[in-house]
């Protein structure tokens, strides 16, 4: 079975850095949401991307810090999305780690038949 994941937005509750984060998301290792500039607690960022899902997929949240050679990017958290979530409406998943807290909003839809 194949499904579609409609990524809607991400909300920051707490940052990894003492100042702002610069979050980005990977979907099975591929860029899903590019770096979003300065994000502070209470900020939302729209994702508005649809991806194909077969079985399960991993979404990783990272914070872009400086850049080589000054500071490596910080891995914050990951969630696994499954085809079993088809038809469950809006999904809300917490992504917490390394001092940061974010909420990911998405929906999983059945793949349209031909």
Q: In terms of DSSP H, where are the helices of 1-114?
A: none
Q: Provide the pLDDT for residue 17.
A: 81
pLDDT digit string (tens) for 44-103? 999 999 999 999 999 999 999 765 555 678 999 999 999 999 999 999 999 999 999 999
Instruction: Write the CATH number for 32.
Output: 2.60.40.150
Q: Provide the pLDDT for residue 71.
A: 63
Q: Can you tell me the distance from the alpha carbon of 83 to that of 102, in angstroms, rounded to the nearest whole number?
A: 22
* Torsions phi, psi for 22 (to 5 deg): -125, 75
> What mean pLDDT is predicted for residues 32-42?
93
Helix (H, G, I), strand (E, B) or coil at 84: helix
Q: Provide the pLDDT for residue 66.
A: 65
The helices-and-strands tally (H runs, E runs) of the chain is 0, 8
- CB-neighbour burial class of residue 59 (10 A; exposed 0-12, middle 13-18, buried 19+): buried
- For 52, the domain range is 2-108
Number of domains in the chain: 1
pLDDT top residue among 14 and 70: 14
Residue 93 lies in a domain: yes
């Amino acid at each position: 079975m194949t499904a579609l994941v409609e990524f809607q937005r991400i909300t920051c509750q707490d940052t990894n850095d003492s100042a702002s984060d610069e979050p980005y998301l990977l979907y099975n290792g591929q860029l899903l949401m590019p770096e979003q500039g300065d994000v502070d607690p209470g900020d939302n960022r729209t994702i508005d991307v649809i991806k194909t899902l077969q079985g399960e997929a991993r979404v990783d949240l990272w914070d872009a810090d400086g850049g080589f050679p000054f500071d490596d990017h910080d891995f914050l958290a990951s969630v696994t999305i499954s085809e079993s979530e088809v038809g469950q409406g809006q999904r809300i998943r917490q992504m917490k780690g390394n001092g940061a807290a974010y909420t990911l909003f998405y929906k999983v839809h059945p793949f349209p038949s031909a």
